Amino acid sequence: MARIQSPDHFALCLVFSLVLNFYFCTKLYFSGCNVNNYQLSWSQRAAEEAEAVASVDCSGHGKAYLDGHFVDGKAVCECNSCFGGPDCSQFFPGCVADADGGDPLFLEPFWIHHAASSALVVAGWHRMSYVFNDHSFISHELEKQIHKLHSVAKNAVTEGKYIIFGAGSTQLISAAVYALSPDNSSSPARVVASIPYYPIYQIQTDFFNSVNFEFQGDASLWKTNNSDSSTNVIEFVTSPNNPDGQLKKAVLQGSSSVKAIHDHAYYWPHFTAIPAPADEDIMIFTISKLTGHAGSRFGWAVVKDEAVYQRMVWYMTLSSMGVSRDAQLRALKLLKVVLKGDGRRIFDYAYNTMSKRWEKLSRAVSKSKRYSLQEIPSQYCNFFKKVRGPSPAYAWLKCEREEDEDCTAVLKAAKIIGRSGSKFSAGNRNVRLSLLKSQDDFELMLHRIYDLVHSEEDGSSKTM
């Protein structure tokens, strides 16, 4: 016969259970609220290593990195251009100002200021699989943050559209060309862009040497010289344009055989006014020009048509099986910092930096009759809710004198390296100068520009 428990026994068990639960809940609560009571385990050493490297003194003219060179167990400084020595404190006064390239290092101080919130410790077993749990190649949490990002920045309509990730905008450009090209090799798509255009459009199209598409050059010339409306055409529209920062629209419109790929790498409030959210069929963005993390190689495309999206996914599957999970994790962390609060911090900082750089360079060049810069009008910005002045990523400098046929050579003689206009199919009288690089790089370039203009005023300017 079963033994019957007394009511006192049940009461005692209940009291003991309540006390035990209260103890564990209290311990858990206070451990979670007080960081000092929580002991790190496997992540502690990684955090200490990161802090040790970040604390290496490079005199403000360089950085030490976890994956950099070490001597006797200590990280070695990697110095900015024109600086050297063990702590990067030695300046080389005869150094050439390098204004080529598009490294967005002007944003480095922002991330130093937000070191704690942007830091990332990754477990050795993080995302080892080829795919996520849903068998896709993308983090849906990151996808959600991207939708939120465009809503905050007011620069693109993403609702009801598909998002695909790529290794920067470069891979997405290739995927989009593939997706829009016909499978019939007897009639390949013609790829065009408006001069001056980003050279990777032609370089990459020619490199793949596909029977389904070929580069045909200037969109305006194609419009003038070709009346066959049945030819498949893919037009690259870069807005703001690289190299001159102008907001661009498609040249070829009105035909079902013409498709456009809108490269909006620089369509952020710190590089241009945002007159309205972009709402095109294919829009490409990249984190490199948003947060400055070019080395993370992460970008995304916003695609309207499902069939085009599926072809781009297929391209990504075959070429790289998606984007590195580590890159996606870092992008997610960075976007959460960007979107914290009202989402204005990085845009305010970046716009103030770039607008000041443009003002200083414009002031210097305005004193010259030999050189000029592109004109970018002030415009109402939907993000800042006001009319704002220009803050382009690049200066598009022109040599005005007839004898200065090679402007790149003229600047090189003045110890300034820029990117020749011929690289953008615009001829040699223009040179692109990067305003994106470190403060050291910008200040040296500005100094060399002032020297160049002053030598012109003294009547002693020379060409090569």
* pLDDT tens digits, 90-131: 999 999 999 998 999 999 999 999 999 999 999 999 999 999
State the Cα–Cα distance between residues 277 and 283, nearest whole angstrom. Answer: 11
**What is the chain's pLDDT, residue by residue, as a tens digit (464 residues)?**
444 455 555 555 555 555 556 555 555 444 444 445 567 888 999 999 999 999 999 999 999 999 999 999 999 999 999 999 999 999 999 999 999 989 999 999 999 999 999 999 999 999 999 999 999 999 999 999 999 999 999 999 999 999 999 999 999 999 999 999 998 777 899 999 999 999 999 999 999 999 999 999 999 988 877 767 778 999 999 999 999 999 999 999 878 889 999 999 999 999 999 999 999 999 999 999 999 999 999 999 999 999 999 999 999 999 999 999 999 999 999 999 999 999 999 999 999 999 999 999 999 999 999 999 999 999 999 999 999 999 999 999 999 999 999 999 999 999 999 999 999 999 999 999 999 999 999 999 999 999 999 988 766 544 43
User: Of 144, 143, 149, 150, nearest to 278 (Cα)?
Assistant: 150
3-class DSSP assignment, residue 121:
coil
> CA–CA distance from 149 to each of 170, 287, 328, 452 (Å)?
21, 11, 15, 42
Give the model's pLDDT for residue 228. Answer: 72
Domains of the chain: 45-95 (2.10.25.30), 140-339 (3.40.640.10), 345-458 (3.90.1150.10)
Q: Where are the beta strands (DSSP E) in 304-378?
A: 371-372
One-letter amino acid at 344 equals R
Residue pLDDT, tens place only, 135-166: 999 999 999 999 999 999 999 999 999 999 99
Query: Is-above-0.85 flag for pTM?
Result: yes
Q: Is the four-CA dihedral 325, 328, 330, 332 of positive or negative sign?
A: negative
Cis peptide before 196 (omega within 30 of 0): yes
